[in-house]
Amino acid sequence: MTRVLLTGFEPFDGATRNPSWEAVRLVAADAPDGLEVTPLRLSCVFGQAVDELRAAVRATDPELVVCVGQAHGRPDISVERIAVNIDDARIPDNAGRRPVDEPVVAGGPAAYFATLPVKACVAAVREAGVPASLSHSAGTFVCNHVFYALMHLIAVERPTTRGGFVHLPSLPEQVLEQPVPSLPTASAAHGLRALLACAAGRSIDVHTFEGTIH
């Protein structure tokens, strides 16, 4: 059994639900064969979320860590490729914190790449019938904050652990009055299962075109 730590976030910015946690709960309740999935709901708070993640990593000793967040406006499951060492919050977090131009880790590298086979994961989600893409920006809010902190933890303390970050679209009920893409929880969970199975089953990525021009 491959030990997997799968995290989602609590609601933020006035919402009552977060698609990341809703999907993570479904995946943990019906995990892919061969995977022992531990779910964790992170606070949407700078610093605190990282403390919660670190504690869970110590407690579960995972071989694979996949953190999941919400990206309002995105049309598909976005597999993140790179985390950057900056916090620059457009809105306050759930504790009212709003860092501007601050490093996630003082003195840390400018960026880290995910250690998942990101392009293979995108392909696996698509093969499962769920829209997916490779993303080159996880933003500068708490999602990127957690993503960077995870990869720094792996680089410094856990070189045999692999990790990465995935963004989900909003829930259908969150965009009823807006022309914004959404994804039902069951579809998001189905895509995440395919992604986890792929990430656990291979370490070498595929060589395909997933770049951007802008």
Which one of 44, 67, 121, 143 is the catalytic residue? 143
User: Is-catalytic flag, 136?
Assistant: no
| Cα-based distances in Å from 195 to 32, 49, 104 | 10, 23, 27
**Strand, coil or helix: 201:** helix
| CB contact burial 60-85 (16+ within 10 A = b; e otherwise) | bebbbbbbbbbbbebebbbbbbbbbb
The pair phi, psi for residue 47, each rounded to 5°, is 85, -60
| 121 in active site | no
Given the residues 145, 152, 167, 190, the one annotated as active site: 167
Strand partners, 111: 84
- Which of 67, 80, 145, 198 is flagged as catalytic? 80
> Beta strands 111-113 and 2-9: pairing type?
unpaired
d(CA 162, CA 180): 33
13: left (phi over 0), alpha (psi -120 to 50) or beta: left
**Contact present, 6 and 196 (Cβ < 8 Å):** yes
Q: Is 143 a catalytic site residue?
A: yes
Report the DSSP beta bridge partners of residue 83: 112
Cα(130)–Cα(81) distance, integer angstroms: 19
- Catalytic amino acids? 80, 143, 167
